Structure formats: C-alpha cells, structure tokens
Amino acid sequence: MNNILLIDDDQELCALIKKSVLRENIETDCCYSGKDGLIKLKENKYQLVILDVMLPGLDGFEILEKIREEYNLPVLMFTAKNDNISKVRGLRAGADDYVTKPFEMDELTARIISLIRRYTRFNQAGNIGGKLEFDGLKIDTDSRLVTSVNGTFELPPKEFDLLVFCAGHQGKILTKRQIYEEVWKEPYVYDDSNIMAIISRVRKKIEANPGNPKYIQTIKGIGYRFNKEV
C-alpha cells in the first residue's frame, strides 16, 4: 500500500482527504504543522508529500526547502485560488505540482495517483535501463543519477522525467503541449508556468551557465529542444 504525508493545519480537510484516498489503497499520515511534518518524514517512508503553503510557524515554502535538502520524493502543494506568485515560487523551489483551494477531491486524487505512479516507476530497478551520455552530461536511467559540471546528484521525479524526455528526443523541437502531456500524463491546460519553472530548475543543476543553456534550448514561441550538437 502506498503511503503519503499530508501537512496542513486544516484538520477537517485532512480527515476528508485521508478518507478519500484510502479508497485508492493509499494511506495518509496527517501533520498540522511543518515542524511535525519534518519529524514524521524522518520516521517513515512516503511516496508523496502534500504541503499547504499557509502553515503556522514555518510556512510551506520553508518546509519545501528543507524537504528538498534531503529528499527527492514528489511534493504537491496547496495554494490559494488565483495566487500565481505562490504557484511559481513553489515550483521554482522544487514542488512537482500544485492544486488550488478549493478543489475537487477527484482532481486531487488523480494528481496524487499520477505523482505516485511516476515516482514508483523511476524507483523500480531495471524498469528503465540504460545511460544517456552527452558532452559533459550523463544520465543514468537505472540509478536516476545525473552527472554534470556541477557534480553527481539525483533529480526530483518531474525534473528527471522532463530531462529524460528531452534528452531522449535530442535535436527534435518539442512543443510545450508535448512536454506537458508526457511529463504530467494529463491533458495540456495552457499553464506554462509548470514547464518553465521545472526547466529553470533543471538548467541550474546541469548547466555551467544557466542563462546561456548548452543542453535544453528555448525555441521561442514553440517550446524547447535538447541541443543536437552535444
């Protein structure tokens, strides 16, 4: 059974989510503060963290930063309706997805299942085999390790998915729709902030000069292309 960690101070909402996802064979541990959530994360193994932006004490962004210092599991954030600043800030800080409050429980459940599925897929040894090697960049799809001028490290699930998808289509221009539907596994909804934020994070980790990227190039007005010259 999959197990997720929910960090939100709305106890009634936590109880509702816990009851709803249990129908999908997903167990939920609830914490009502970021501090308690971090302690729980050290004690148990989870396939996903759901994190509210508005928390007592340490806010969701501070908790996200601490999670990303140690863990590569997917993080889904709750943001307020029309709060685009929080959405972009969360994505840039390492969130894999977000849901705005109020939300439909069916939508939340679908996003949870999608994130867990991708995390599980990329952590199953031998499910995807092989290594991709370029000039100064190595991607090991078995261990999910990436080696660049900045060292050897793991990427969070969505960042890794996006990098592998682009690198696997080297030289081909990929539209934002193609990238979104492949990485998010859902219909494109014209929300480019997700894609832009994750590509920005990947560039910072694999590029010597993120402002002048060597690997993932922007094709203005269309999408992106993994440089065919590397």
Chain segment 187-196, per-residue pLDDT in tens: 877 667 888 8
pLDDT for residue 128 is more than 80: no
Most confident of the ranges 9-23, 118-132, 140-154, 157-171: 9-23
Share of the chain above pLDDT 90, in %: 50
Sign, CA dihedral 1-33-52-89, equals negative
Task: Give me the pLDDT at residue 121, please.
Answer: 57
E strands, 119-198, are 131-134, 137-140, 145-148, 151-154, 173-175
User: Quick one: average pLDDT of 125-150?
Assistant: 79
- The whole-chain average pLDDT of the chain stands at 87
pLDDT for residue 149 is more than 50: yes
Most confident of the ranges 37-46, 98-107, 140-149, 180-189: 37-46
CB 169 within 8 A of CB 217: no
CB 35 within 8 A of CB 55: no
DSSP annotation of 4 reads E
Task: Give me the pLDDT at residue 127, please.
Answer: 42
Task: Give me the pLDDT at residue 125, please.
Answer: 40
What does pTM read for this prediction?
A: 0.63
Q: Which residue has the higher pLDDT, 161 or 72?
A: 161
pLDDT for residue 88 is more than 90: no
User: Quick one: average pLDDT of 88-98?
Assistant: 79
Exposure b/e, 138-159, CB count within 10 A at least 16 = b: ebbbeebebbbeeeeeebbbbb
